[in-house]
Amino acid sequence: MPNKLKSGFPIKIYNISQVAEILGVHRHSVRYWIQKGWVKPKKDYRNNFVFTPSDVLKIKKWRKTLK
């Protein structure tokens, strides 16, 4: 997955721990959501899950629908 937009500027990517901190949940919660298929992040060249800012916004909206 290239870390650049079409314009050539780098994009911000987050790992599971960073996303968990942003959302105010434990990182195991994020891993559980991935395991259940509720969240579908991309993977980087090292096969680690990565999230874009738009992924984080989608998760926030999804969590609001649960409340």
Question: Which residues form the domain of 42?
Answer: 16-66
For residue 25, which of 61, 60, 66 has the smallest C-alpha distance?
60
Question: Token pair of 17, please?
Answer: 């721990």
pLDDT digits (tens, 9 = 90+) for 21-57: 999 999 999 999 999 999 999 999 999 999 999 999 9
Answer yes or no: is 11 within a domain. no
Average pLDDT on 1-11 reads 60
Answer yes or no: is 28 within a domain. yes
Quick one: pLDDT at residue 39? 94
Average pLDDT on 9-31 reads 92
- Kindly list the distances between the CA atom of residue 26 and the CA atoms of 5, 18, 44, 45, 62, in Å, as whole numbers in the listed order: 30, 10, 22, 25, 17
The upper half-sphere exposure of residue 52, i.e. CA atoms within 13 Å in the direction of its Cβ, equals 12
What's the CATH number where 40 sits? 1.10.1660.10
> In total, how many domains does the chain have?
1
Question: Token pair of 43, please?
Answer: 């993977």
Quick one: pLDDT at residue 22? 95
